[in-house]
């Protein structure tokens, strides 16, 4: 059974929590994990070093396009990181995910 795992980032814990709660409330995700990370990247010809919050979304593969649209609307970034992949998962977890959303 396949699940969708999508990863995005936010600049603050408050923003990350807001997104996570909206995803759960709107039945777009069964589970959302948040962890603090440190990112280094180029933006406007400068090397940026910043604390961010990585948001990992576990959802149904058929929600991919809607999740991308949702994240573009709600992200505080001009160019939000949106990375996704389908994964196989254990049957009990799959059953729970399907029943949850």
DSSP 77: S
Number of structural domains the chain divides into: 1
Print the domain residue range for 62.
Answer: 2-100
Mean pLDDT of the region 95-99: 95
Q: How far is the CA of 9 from the CAs of 36, 74, 81, in angstroms?
A: 9, 12, 6
**What pLDDT does residue 37 have?**
98
**What pLDDT does residue 75 have?**
96
| CATH number for position 34 | 3.30.70.120
Average pLDDT in the chain: 97
- 82: left (phi > 0), else alpha (psi -120 to 50), else beta? beta
Its pTM stands at: 0.94
Condensed to tens digits (0 to 9), the pLDDT of residues 34-68 reads: 999 999 999 999 999 999 999 999 999 999 999 99
Mean pLDDT of the region 19-29: 97
**What pLDDT does residue 85 have?**
98
């Amino acid at each position: 059974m396949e699940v969708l795992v999508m990863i995005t980032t936010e600049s603050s814990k408050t923003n990350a929590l807001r997104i996570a709660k909206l995803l759960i409330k709107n039945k777009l995700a069964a589970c959302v994990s948040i962890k603090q990370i440190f990112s280094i990247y180029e933006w406007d010809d400068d090397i940026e070093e910043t604390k961010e919050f990585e948001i990992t979304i576990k959802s149904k593969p058929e929600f991919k396009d809607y999740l991308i649209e949702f994240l573009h609307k709600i992200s505080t970034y001009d160019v939000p990181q949106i990375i996704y992949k389908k994964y196989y998962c254990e049957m009990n977890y799959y059953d729970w995910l399907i029943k949850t959303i």
